[in-house]
Amino acid sequence: MAKGLGKGLNAFFSNAEADSEETIQEIRLSEIRPNPYQPRKIFDEAAIEELKQSIREHGILQPVILRKSIKGFEIVAGERRCRAAREAGLEKVPSVIRELTEKQMMELAILENLQREDLTPMEEAAAYQQLIEKLKMTQEELAKRLGKSRPHIANHIRLLSLPPKIQELISSGKITMGHGRALLGLRQKEKVQATADRAIKEGLNVRQLEQLIHHLNELVPRETKKVKQPKDIFIKAQETSLRERFGTPVSIKQNKNQNKGKIEIEFFSKDDLDRILQILDQERS
């Protein structure tokens, strides 16, 4: 298993590598199509070139895994090997043919990519979301199966609620996942793109962007601006505790006499709301 994936994967997925007892066949690349469930959207051209040179020198050491389809074969695992083999001028690749359901094919495609640990944050988020939707699992259940923490899963999936252009900035590496998480906290959603552009232009790190967003959230029109009473240190501590428990911004607001108020818990998608409600249900039980 790849480092960092977690011991839960062996119990969750079938092996994404070819078994030594399986029959290896030479299949023409012209008959092979990409996996429709491939979570990877960006392929590192430098890595493909390096793999191409290795194939030219040593051949393909690990067979690709295919599934028979109506028109030839679909790749289950090994798309980068097939791409590199084409560029290396090969006509055929060593392959193992498996009979797989759509669900199994999706699982194996996601597994192979998660094992490599070089998916972009957005690709990883989409892979987690796919598993949750297709396998009817909660974030908590998926985290346990993958050997990941629930906040790790939740923080990635929350990125999917960012505008598409911001997701593209994360995928291209122009901003980091940390920047994306900070932008989720901007209350004026119409300013997200401009704020991201400013972060790139000024070279803001995540902490600096968080400070900028905090400042933007505090700004209100002069005519409606009110003098805020400083929050009690106990209230601040409770907000921090709740924020850590729910993995999302939490605000405790009191009236002038501090005898009434409300607690606001932010969520960024229906799945995020379900996760928070599940935590509340566990607290009651």
Which of 106, 112, 168 has its CA nearest to residue 132? Answer: 106
Contact 265, 250 (CB under 8 A): yes
3-state SS assignment for residue 274? helix
DSSP codes of every residue in 190-258:
GGHHHHHHHHHHHT--HHHHHHHHHHHHH---GGG--PPPPPPHHHHHHHHHHHHHHTS-EEEEE-TTS
What is the C-alpha to C-alpha distance for residues 112 and 16, in angstroms, rounded to an integer?
Answer: 6
Length of the chain: 285
**In sequence order, what E strands does 86-213 have?**
92-98
**Catalytic entry in 21, 45, 57, 79:** 79
Strand order of the β-sheet with 25-28 is 25-28, 92-98, 64-69, 72-77, 32-33
* Catalytic-residue membership of 79: yes
Residues 6+ apart with CB under 8 A from 126: 39, 160
Active-site residue numbers? 79
